[in-house]
């Protein structure tokens, strides 16, 4: 399935394909996700399996670099999928997920239905 631009309650969301290029560095994010900003997307929904394990190991700094790049381009990130093994392996990732899900810039959701539900809620 190719990437798909959809709207949720008036917000353009790029749903990235699960079989797309892996995202392991900030440059990968620029190469494969930031183009969405130029295609009208405000939110980029990336399947968790496309993100390299280093993204979920916060000590590497990869997540911070990628998130900063997306913020610079005014794109919001949604990580879609099961990240339970990463949560179990980290003492700090659960805090990031909890705090991110309280905000507007980065969300972690289990599936696309949960993503759609997030847009129904008042922000």
Whole-model pTM above 0.95? no
Asked if residues 120 and 9 have their Cβ atoms less than 8 Å apart, the reply is yes
Tell me the pLDDT of the chain averaged across its residues. 92
Residue 96 to residue 76: CA distance in whole angstroms = 15
pLDDT confidence bin for 114, thresholds 50/70/90:
very high
Asked if residues 69 and 35 have their Cβ atoms less than 8 Å apart, the reply is no
pLDDT at 38 over 90: no
- What was the pLDDT predicted at 40? 86
Q: Tell me: the pLDDT tens digits for 50-62?
A: 999 999 999 999 9
Helical H segments across the chain, by residue range: 26-32, 53-56, 62-72, 84-88, 93-102, 112-120
What's the DSSP call for residue 33?
T
- What was the pLDDT predicted at 123? 55
pLDDT at 122 over 70: no
Region 11-29: mean pLDDT is: 94
Q: Tell me: the pLDDT tens digits for 60-101?
A: 999 999 999 998 889 999 999 999 999 999 999 999 999 999
């Amino acid at each position: 399935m190719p990437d798909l631009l959809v709207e949720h309650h008036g917000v353009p969301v790029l749903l990235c394909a699960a079989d797309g290029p892996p995202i392991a560095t900030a440059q990968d994010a620029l190469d494969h996700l930031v183009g969405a900003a130029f295609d009208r997307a405000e939110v980029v929904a990336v399947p968790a399996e496309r993100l390299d394990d280093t993204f979920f190991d916060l000590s590497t700094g990869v997540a911070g670099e990628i998130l900063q790049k997306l913020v610079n381009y005014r794109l919001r990130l949604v990580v879609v999928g099961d990240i339970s093994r990463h949560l179990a392996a980290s003492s700090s990732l659960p805090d990031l997920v909890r705090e991110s899900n309280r905000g507007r810039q980065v969300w972690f959701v289990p599936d696309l239905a949960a993503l759609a539900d997030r847009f129904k809620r008042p922000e």
